[in-house]
Structure 1
Amino acid sequence: MSNTEETRKVAETWFEALTTGDFETALNTLDENVEWINYTIVPGYNDDMKWIGTARGREAVLGTLQIFTGAVDVKTEKLINLVVEGSQAFGVIDEVSVVKETGVEFHIEFIQSLTVRDGKIVRWKSYTDPSEIIRALRGDKPGEVNA
């Protein structure tokens, strides 16, 4: 199996598990020492998102996912594009979720960058504009401006 084929297989397993809520399978695609980069924390801006930052290792990733699922109810999450080349995969995800505390929905599109080595994800990084998430966490409804 070529490097690209192996990466595609791991990425497809990751995204299928992620979008169906199969966290056990998703976690099993991660290397024990995975580098997990879920945005860069910007104090006063996106630090309302308590699950973001950099984590290292499968257990630390599970901890961040538990914080996320404790705060947010994911309504739909689907893979809309996947690009794979060598050890790199980029998946575009469309997500609609509701913040549990505020009841406010948000809709985002985000990219996950995966690096695969020896059949496991060794590096994961997420990219998106977090404005919709922050708005929902703060309880602002779509179209509202909180002054």
Structure 2
Amino acid sequence: MSSATEETRNVVQRWFDALTSGDFETALGTLAEDVEWINYTPVPGYNDDMKWIGSYRGRDAVLETLEIFTGAVDVRFEKLVNLVVDGDQAAGVIHEMSTVRGTGVEFEIEFVQWLTVRDGKIVRWKSYTDPSQIVRALRGDVSGREAR
């Protein structure tokens, strides 16, 4: 394993361990001060119910979006199920089961976080998932409970 791959693996493992245990302070500490944060693209009328999504720059902006997310959603279970690392790039697959606070409707998703690490910090974070289960739960729709 190259030293870049090893460094990336160590940084992203700290990120995922902190994230899945709810330790946002440690998680934020793995991010570069000017991290590029890309959490889907808001599409009016489709996924704009997800008030925390969009593209942001910097740890403070990331913290704000995480606070919006955790204010709207109670994450009951989150686990890293796969991690692939090569050089300064890493992709982690997360399994999440959550409940929307305002509706009480549960959702279950798998999503990918694509991370770039430089100088021991995550400099770019991008998320990929099918948000339909989240949108359904935000809108209070209890039909279609099939997760994947």
Shorter-chain TM-score tier: over 0.9
Q: Which residue of 2 aligns with 1:30?
A: 31
Q: Which residue of 2 aligns with 1:16?
A: 17
TM-score relative to the length of structure 1: 0.96
Q: In the TM superposition, what is the alpha-carbon distance from 1:35 to its structure 2 partner?
A: 0.3
Q: How is 1:97-112 mapped onto 2 (pairs within 5 angstroms)?
A: 97-112=98-113
Percent identity, aligned pairs only, is: 75
Q: In the TM superposition, what is the alpha-carbon distance from 1:7 to its structure 2 partner?
A: 0.1
Q: Which residue of 2 aligns with 1:142?
A: 143
Q: How is 1:47-66 mapped onto 2 (pairs within 5 angstroms)?
A: 47-66=48-67
The residue type equivalent to 1:6 in the other structure is: E
Q: What secondary structure sits across from 1:60 in the alignment?
A: helix
TM-score relative to the length of structure 2: 0.96
The residue type equivalent to 1:87 in the other structure is: D
Q: How is 1:33-44 mapped onto 2 (pairs within 5 angstroms)?
A: 33-44=34-45
Q: How is 1:110-121 mapped onto 2 (pairs within 5 angstroms)?
A: 110-121=111-122
Unaligned ranges ≥5, structure 2: none
Distance (Å, rounded) in 2 between the aligned partners of 1:2 and 1:143: 46
Q: In the TM superposition, what is the alpha-carbon distance from 1:143 to its structure 2 partner?
A: 2.6
Distance (Å, rounded) in 2 between the aligned partners of 1:101 and 1:76: 18
Q: In the TM superposition, what is the alpha-carbon distance from 1:119 to its structure 2 partner?
A: 0.1
CA RMSD of aligned residues (A): 1.0
The residue type equivalent to 1:126 in the other structure is: S
Q: In the TM superposition, what is the alpha-carbon distance from 1:142 to its structure 2 partner?
A: 3.3
The residue type equivalent to 1:42 in the other structure is: V
Q: In the TM superposition, what is the alpha-carbon distance from 1:47 to its structure 2 partner?
A: 0.3
Distance (Å, rounded) in 2 between the aligned partners of 1:82 and 1:141: 32
Unaligned ranges ≥5, structure 1: none
